[in-house]
Copies of this chain bind each other. A is one copy, B any other.
């Protein structure tokens, strides 16, 4: 059915070896006359190389596996875009899998990628605070077999590469800035306790408060999603006493500030406040983390810690694809004080 390289070779009147050499870059390039003849034949026949066969013969697939928690989450989709961009430029294809926040599914994805012999695997979903031994063993096997592994945050596997994101220091800087802007009453929407990323951010917030001699009014775990932020924010208000943050009850200490472990949670929290009839930033202030593109059109503008998400994806891909990769790459961000928290005048 489909055109094979033999067909091309036959039509060009050369051997399979010669055809292979001209069609797919090789060290040895045949004489110009012959090469042209082969190329012409390939074009006429509409030849498309069989990547599977090439992979088998070369034992390199030009495939990179990407596993995210949820591709519909702006954080991951933006990172995915960066990975895809870089990979595309390098002529690599991206194999996408979603773990749906389930470690078992993540392991399945990795196994599938191993089966497809992807040249590299990028783990974009946050690592757990206590590494999953089954996953790590599988990854170690993958690496031993010549695969490259890059994760966002360390895996605990020495041979694996990782991108080191300023989660804790970023959170520290953000909270410190908010304190310096006069805020004093904080509650932390910490996200899932087991997720390294969420934990690091919550820790950064806590350290910053402690440094300022403050203690959070509450620390609430929850889902790393909009819904999680919404629920945690409601729970927070209940916990602090229904009207804790209402303007007429405000002490001279200023409004309550909700520090969310990521932007989608922060947006959920704002929605929750709105549903309670509270205004952000007037009654309650809210800060997030990531600076997802979605924020562009959100009102109030969200105070957050800006991470170059697409760049993170690119860096991860680069680390995955460059044979001479260079240890962990550190990624820093910036504190972005916007309307939702810390803006002088509110």
Contact = CB atoms under 8 A, between A and B. Distances in A.
Given A52-B116, A74-B74, 15 more contacts: A1-B144, A48-B115, A50-B56, A52-B52, A56-B56, A71-B71, A71-B84, A72-B310, A73-B77, A84-B98, A94-B97, A95-B96, A226-B297, A264-B297, A298-B298
A53 interface: yes
A126 B268 CA distance: 31
A340 to B, nearest CB: 12
A72 B297 contact: no
Interface of A: 1-2, 46, 48-53, 55-56, 61, 63, 66, 70-74, 77-78, 80-81, 84-85, 88, 93-98, 111-112, 114-117, 141, 144-146, 226, 264, 267-268, 270-271, 274, 293-294, 296-299, 310
A141 B63 CA distance: 24
A114 B61 CA distance: 14
Contact of A72 (B50, B77, B117, B274): B77
Contact of A111 (B48, B72, B78, B141): B48
Contact of A95 (B46, B71, B95, B274): B95
A310 B2 CA distance: 34
A312 to B, nearest CB: 13
Nearest to A78: B72
A299 B299 contact: yes
B52 A117 contact: yes
Contacts of A78: 72
Contact of A53 (B56, B72, B93, B144): B56
A295 to B, nearest CB: 10
Give 3 nearest A-B pairs by CB, closest first: A267-B297, A77-B77, A52-B55
A46 B138 CA distance: 9
Contacts of A63: 116
Identical chains bound together, number: 2
B293 A72 contact: yes
Contact of A145 (B2, B144, B267, B293): B2
Contact of A50 (B81, B85, B117): B117
10 contacts: A1-B145, A48-B114, A51-B115, A56-B56, A71-B71, A72-B78, A74-B74, A88-B97, A94-B97, A226-B296
B141 A46 contact: yes
Contacts of A141: 46
B88 A80 contact: no
Contacts of A98: 81, 84-85, 88
Contacts of A52: 52, 55-56, 61, 116-117
A110 to B, nearest CB: 10
A63 B50 CA distance: 14
Nearest to A268: B297
Contact of A96 (B72, B96, B299): B96
A197 B66 CA distance: 29
A78 B163 CA distance: 26
Given A50-B115, A84-B96, A117-B51, A74 B72 contact: yes
Nearest to A115: B51
Contacts of A96: 66, 80, 84, 94-96
A141 B94 CA distance: 23
Given A1-B145, A51-B115, A71 B80 contact: yes
